[in-house]
Each structure stands twice: as C-alpha cells, then as structure tokens.
Amino acid sequence: MEVGEHLGIIAVIGRPNVGKSTIFNRLLGRREAIVDDFPGVTRDRLYGEMMWDGKRFYIVDTGGIMGETQDGRAVIMDKMALQVKQAISESDGVVFVVDGRDGVTPMDYEIASMLRKSGARVVVAVNKLDNPENIAAAYEASSLGFAKVIPVSAAHNFNMGDLLEEISDMLPQDGGDSGSEDGSALPVALVGRPNTGKSSIFNALVGSERSLVSDIPGTTRDVVDSLVELGGRKYRFLDTAGLRRKSRIDSSVEYYSTVRTYQAIDKCRVALVVLDASEIAAEQDKRLVGHVMERGKGLVVVVNKWDLVLDGAASGDKMRDKLRDEFPFASHAPVIFVSALTKRGISKIGGCIDSVDENRRRRISTSELNRLVREVLVFERMPAAGGRNLKISYCTQADGEPPAFVFFVNDDKLASKPFSRRVENILRRMADFSGTPLRLFFRKKSERD
C-alpha cells in the first residue's frame, strides 16, 4: 500500500435473507488465504479489503451489522433506514441486493425510494439466479429505478465479475483523498480504544477544542483532521473514533467509525496508538498495534493518563517491560508517557514522530548489507532441510517505505520465519529502525541474477 493511499468504501445493503453475506464472501473469496505475520491481528467478518481493476477498497457487509432477522417489519425498516442513511453518508457506492427468486417486494421498493432520494451511486444485484431460466427476474428489478441492474448468483459465482466492474465504476477514479491539502505536512493518525484520551491529546496538540472531549466512550464518530506546526514542521493529525471489539459494535454508526479508523491508518505515515495507563495491553490494543505494523506504518506507543500513576520513574520501567512482553512483534516501537490533562510529555510527541518517520525512510548501503551477509550471517545457524543448507549470495534494499530487504538465496523455501526474525534483529542492530516495520524477502537466485 502506498503512503497516503485512501481506500474507498462500498456498502452491501438489502433486506434480510437476500444473500448479502454470500455476495460479500464471494467478493472476498481470497480472504481465507491471507496470513498475518503479527499476533493479535484478526480479520473482522463485517468488512474486508480487496482490489479490482487496479483499485483497492473496503467492502462492508451490512447483514452482519443488522443481523439476518425477520422479527417485526417495522423494526426491520427502522434498522434499514439507519443502514441506508449510513451507507449513503459513509460510502462511495452501494450494492443493493434483492432476491431474484422472491422477486421485488414492497420492502425493496421502500429501500429503493430512500436510495433514489439520496442521489447515491447504486448498482442493483439480483441474487440467487442460479437457473438461466430465471434471468428474466432481473428485468423486474429495473422497476426499482436504477440504471445498473446485474443478475448474479453468489453461490455459483455467476456474473460476479460484471458486478465488480460496476463497483469499480462507483469508486473515485483517483483512489480518493490522497492526503493533505498541504503536501508538505506529515499525516499522523491518533488511534486507540475508546476513552483512552485520543481527542484530549489531539486538542492539546492543535491548541484548540477541535474534537469533542467527554468521559463517554466513543464520542468521536468521524475522522477529524487539523494541520499543526510543531517546531517548524507541519503535521496533519487525524483524530479517529475508538476501536471496539466486534462483539461491541452494535450499530452501523459504530461500525463505519471502525472502518474510518482503518482508513486513517491507511492515509498516515506514522500512527500514534494511545493506551490507557490504567488498562493497557487489551486484546484490542494488540490487534490495533498489529494492524499498524501490518500496513507498514510508523508506530509510536503513547501511554496516556500517566498523572494517575503514583511512582512515575519506577512505573515507567515496569510499563516498558510489560509492553515488550505483550507486544513482542513491536518491541522496537518508542513509548511516550503523557498526560493530556496536565500536558506532561505532550511536547515530546513531535520529535518522536519525526524520528520514526526518518527511520521509516532509512536506507542501508548495499556494501553494508553484503558485509552483513559475509561477516554476520556466517556465525548464524542457517536453516536446513533435506540435507540442504540455506545459502545467501547477496542482499539489497528495495525502494519504497517501509524498509524492505531482498536476500538472494539458493532455495527460498529454506528461509524459515524464526531465521527471518533473527535476520531482522541483526538489521535493527545495524541501523536505527525504531518504530518502523521491516520487510524481508528471500528470492531464489537465478542464472540472470
């Protein structure tokens, strides 16, 4: 993912039991093959990320938000109205799913009416058309008033490519907002669980009450951004809503806030993950830190509400030890102890962001890397299998961010994950890569190489 890339959002909506989740799962058919390198990172079943026609975007399964229930038409319509409203305001486009077997129902017409009045970009997916003889049912859906109607069968993968083409047309042609109006400003995301004090830190940094601050978790719904100058450098701070566990996401409002938080991480170069000093290392903290690292972003861990801790110095050492134990995959990340209430430590944030951003762009010369191969790795116990030992011919650093290193070897299948982690630790001793993930690739050396 490129720095500052902004992923669009496509919402899949429709009345209960029309197959929204089946369409969602079919579109994201590759998600089960995704392997996360960082512990604690999970894929939320309510949304997924995919690419089509060169465009990356999030797709939202609103069936998971509302639940496929048939209890009470009035209740269903109230929930549908909220879903439609949120889909319109939060998404770049809507896939409106109807059941091709049942035909168009009065509830479908009501949903269509809400969508038409909004002016949202909509494609109608007429699902469950498993039999070619039923394709004529798609014509009935044209009465809903939308120009784009696609007959599909998610269960049998019929016409899903055509549906994806229509989805691609609804996405912004330039990939969406690519960042700041001021290209020189460094984008920084403030993320964390609800009520950790993100908005208070944000307000202390920008010097104004730009974000609503209260002791009610989840006050911030949308991403709020401000250009701030600290020490002569400009930053674009993105203040986000707090991330809850999936089991606590009980409305479409909360759900879209979660997606917006991940969008903010996509857009930033450095993320400040804010933890509560009285309750750190929750599962959601681990998931969030892992997500930041997975996306290749710079990471600064900010422990807020430090004014509530009695023995600051001794407690700071204990806290660092605990964080290293709880986040071993991000033990290199700098930790700042702050109090948004007293402003303690706030002045250190800017310098720490600069340092991590510089580390994220750091390079090691090819000569130094090959000294690593010749002198350092010769003392390492090389992986072996089937009577063969891994041999490294040379190494080079690839272009781009975060730092990525390519090792040319005799057999890339011999490069185990434990060995890769050992090599990463050696690289971190060679240069300061604090706060940035490293990418290591082992490529089989060819004759041309």
pLDDT of 214 reads: 54
Mean pLDDT lowest for which of 79-93, 113-127, 217-231, 278-292? 217-231
Q: Tabulate helix, strand, coil % of the chain (nearest 5).
A: 40, 20, 40
From CA 429, how far away is CA 250, in angstroms rounded? Answer: 45
Which comes out higher in pLDDT, residue 114 or 258?
A: 114
Instruction: Provide the 8-state DSSP code for 320.
Output: H
Domains recognised in the chain with CATH numbers: 8-170 (3.40.50.300), 186-360 (3.40.50.300), 366-444 (3.30.300.20)
The values of phi and psi at residue 127, to 5°, are -90, 170
Q: Are 17 and 70 in contact (CB under 8 A)?
A: yes
**pLDDT tens string 384-426:** 888 888 889 999 999 999 999 999 999 999 998 999 999 999 9
Distances (CA, A) of 6 to 58, 289, 298, 302: 10, 20, 17, 25
Q: Are 195 and 215 in contact (CB under 8 A)?
A: yes
Nearest to 289 by CA among 315, 314, 264, 265: 265
Q: Are 21 and 224 in contact (CB under 8 A)?
A: no
Looking at mean pLDDT, say which of 142-156, 303-317, 349-363 comes out highest: 349-363
The mean pLDDT of 353-357, rounded to a whole number, is 96
Residues near 402 by Cβ (< 8 Å), separated by ≥ 6? 296, 297, 298, 360, 436, 437, 438, 439
40: alpha, beta or left? (left if phi > 0; alpha if psi -120 to 50): left
User: Taking the CA of residue 183 as centre, how many other CA atoms within 13 Å lie in the half-sphere pointing to its CB?
Assistant: 1
**pLDDT tens string 142-189:** 899 999 999 999 888 888 999 999 999 998 765 444 444 456 889 999
What is the enclosing helix (H) or strand (E) of 55? strand 55-61
Please provide the size of the chain in residues: 449
Using DSSP's 3-state secondary structure scheme, residue 278 falls into coil
The mean pLDDT of 324-328, rounded to a whole number, is 90
From CA 143, how far away is CA 116, in angstroms rounded? Answer: 12
Please provide the average confidence, as pLDDT, over all residues in the chain. Answer: 80
> Does the pLDDT at position 22 exceed 80?
yes
